[in-house]
């Protein structure tokens, strides 16, 4: 069994990543040593590198979207969410949120467990200077503590294919379940990054009549068509009015029943409010980091009788449904194509830069080659 693990560590915000050799602690009962195959590079990782999120302990090992192979197990029974026994050599993934307390006010009274005040997340809020040290996926090995919500990766799904179960698809599942997505709906999706692509895919699977992806990158819009978009619009060609007219024309003059926002850009919000039909729903899930302020017309929101919802974080159920959705639709959509760049651990820094410049659709770090 491996005794040490190389990991890429962020010493403090904005410092270059450093490769460190970390001793692997003894496995306690119910724990899992995971040999990392892929760690997805998430937009959040770039923000964490720049110190833009509060409550994060540095030095930090990044990586909360992780797939890999079980290298070793602590004593006792370790099961996945379907109650299947986990064995050495199994291909697995897990929900990055390792603790939701279900006893704080947000959990119990507000019924908003993704806003749990005691949440602990691998690669984000867990402290790499304390046991079990190997808390992020930018590492050859991860030490998964007892109680981590494990999911087996179905046989027909490759490690690259499973990586969208990290953040993108669970966020999309959460957004879809917070919106009135029904058979025959006309849907528009602002943004064709991993989250927007996964929302388009879910809308298609759920029987949407039209799915229009809106972005500025031609390669992303091409991929959107492969993930179920019936139409695409490039914001660099034409105005908001043009897009509004197009969306009305394909929906018998009404406009989209639901507009999803997955852009990360504040300026998308006033446009979304313009595009959605009267009495429609606007679901916002792409503003995880503060992209600034923007002018909106409250009268328009009121006059259109809009239902506006936002989505924060994911629950285990969303990750569980994500991995099942991938497996059941693997022949229908090109999940593996989301991974456009692959970096060795020593180039973790370059991977963050590729993500920051949006060169990649999805970059992964493959710490074990």
Nearest to 310 by CA among 290, 282, 278: 282
The site for Zn ion, by CB under 5 A, has a size of 8
- 103 Cβ neighbours under 8 A, 6+ residues apart: none
Q: How far is the CB of 312 from Zn ion (least distance, A)?
A: 12
116 binds Zn ion per the rule CB under 5 A:
yes
Closer Cβ to Zn ion, 121 or 221, answer by number = 121
For residue 359, give Cα distances in angstroms to 11, 170, 350.
25, 23, 11
Residues 44-73 close enough to bind Zn ion by CB under 5 A: 44
Contact 203, 175 (CB under 8 A): no
Q: How far is the CB of 182 from Zn ion (least distance, A)?
A: 28
42 binds Zn ion per the rule CB under 5 A:
yes
| Binding-residue pattern over the window 90 to 109 for Zn ion, x denoting contact by CB under 5 A | -----------x--x--x--
Cis peptide before 59 (omega within 30 of 0): yes
Nearest to 361 by CA among 204, 225, 214, 196: 196
Closer Cβ to Zn ion, 243 or 362, answer by number = 362
Contact 164, 188 (CB under 8 A): no
Distance CA 140, CA 311 (A): 32
Closer Cβ to Zn ion, 92 or 107, answer by number = 107
Closer Cβ to Zn ion, 167 or 214, answer by number = 167
167 binds Zn ion per the rule CB under 5 A:
yes
Closer Cβ to Zn ion, 113 or 272, answer by number = 113
**How many CB atoms within 10 Å of residue 130?**
9
Q: How far is the CB of 325 from Zn ion (least distance, A)?
A: 18
Distance CA 79, CA 340 (A): 32
261 forms beta bridges with: 190, 284
Contact 134, 5 (CB under 8 A): yes
Contact 261, 282 (CB under 8 A): yes
Stretch that binds Zn ion, among 35-43, 153-161, 185-193, 361-369 (CB under 5 A): 35-43
Q: How far is the CB of 157 from Zn ion (least distance, A)?
A: 19
Stretch that binds Zn ion, among 31-39, 55-63, 155-163, 166-174 (CB under 5 A): 166-174
Closer Cβ to Zn ion, 86 or 101, answer by number = 101
For residue 267, give Cα distances in angstroms to 173, 214, 272, 286, 294.
24, 13, 9, 12, 6
28 binds Zn ion per the rule CB under 5 A:
no
Q: How far is the CB of 334 from Zn ion (least distance, A)?
A: 21
Closer Cβ to Zn ion, 22 or 116, answer by number = 116
Contact 264, 217 (CB under 8 A): no
Stretch that binds Zn ion, among 37-45, 79-87, 199-207, 327-335 (CB under 5 A): 37-45
Q: How far is the CB of 164 from Zn ion (least distance, A)?
A: 11
Helix residue ranges per DSSP H, 56-186? 105-108, 159-162, 168-177
Closer Cβ to Zn ion, 114 or 234, answer by number = 114
Q: How far is the CB of 12 from Zn ion (least distance, A)?
A: 21
33 binds Zn ion per the rule CB under 5 A:
no
Kindly list the residues in this chain that would bind Zn ion in the complex (CB under 5 A).
42, 44, 101, 104, 107, 116, 118, 167
């Amino acid at each position: 069994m491996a005794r040490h693990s190389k990991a890429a560590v962020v010493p403090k915000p904005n410092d270059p990543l450093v490769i460190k050799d970390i001793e692997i602690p003894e496995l306690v009962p119910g724990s899992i040593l995971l040999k990392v195959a892929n760690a997805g590079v998430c937009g959040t990782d770039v923000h964490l590198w720049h110190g833009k999120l509060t409550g994060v302990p540095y030095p930090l090992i990044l990586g909360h979207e992780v797939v890999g192979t079980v290298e070793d197990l602590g004593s006792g029974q370790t099961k996945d969410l379907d109650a299947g026994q986990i064995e050495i050599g199994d291909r697995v993934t897990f929900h990055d949120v390792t603790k939701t307390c279900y006893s704080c006010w947000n959990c119990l009274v507000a019924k908003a467990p993704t806003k749990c005040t005691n949440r602990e997340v691998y690669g984000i809020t867990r402290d790499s200077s304390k046991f079990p040290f190997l808390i992020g996926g930018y590492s050859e090995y991860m030490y998964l503590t007892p109680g981590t919500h494990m999911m087996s990766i179905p046989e027909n799904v490759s490690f690259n294919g499973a990586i969208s179960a990290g953040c993108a698809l669970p966020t999309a599942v959460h957004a879809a379940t917070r919106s009135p997505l029904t058979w025959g709906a006309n849907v528009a999706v602002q943004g064709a990054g991993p989250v927007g692509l996964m929302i388009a895919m879910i809308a298609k699977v759920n029987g949407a009549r039209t799915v229009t992806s809106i972005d500025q990158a031609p390669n992303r819009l091409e991929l959107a068509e492969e993930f179920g978009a019936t139409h695409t619009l490039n914001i660099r060609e034409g105005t908001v009015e043009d897009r509004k007219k197009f969306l009305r024309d394909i929906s018998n003059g009404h406009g989209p029943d639901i507009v999803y926002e997955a852009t990360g850009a504040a300026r998308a919000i006033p446009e979304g409010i313009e595009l959605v039909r009267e009495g429609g729903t606007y679901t916002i899930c792409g503003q995880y980091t503060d992209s600034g302020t923007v002018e909106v017309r409250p009268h328009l929101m009121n006059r259109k009788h809009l239902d506006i919802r936002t989505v924060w974080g994911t629950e285990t159920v969303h990750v569980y449904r994500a991995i099942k959705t991938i497996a059941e639709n693997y022949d229908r959509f090109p999940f593996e194509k989301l991974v456009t760049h692959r970096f060795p651990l020593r180039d973790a820094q370059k991977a963050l830069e590729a993500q920051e410049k949006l060169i990649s659709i999805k970059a992964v770090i493959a710490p074990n080659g």
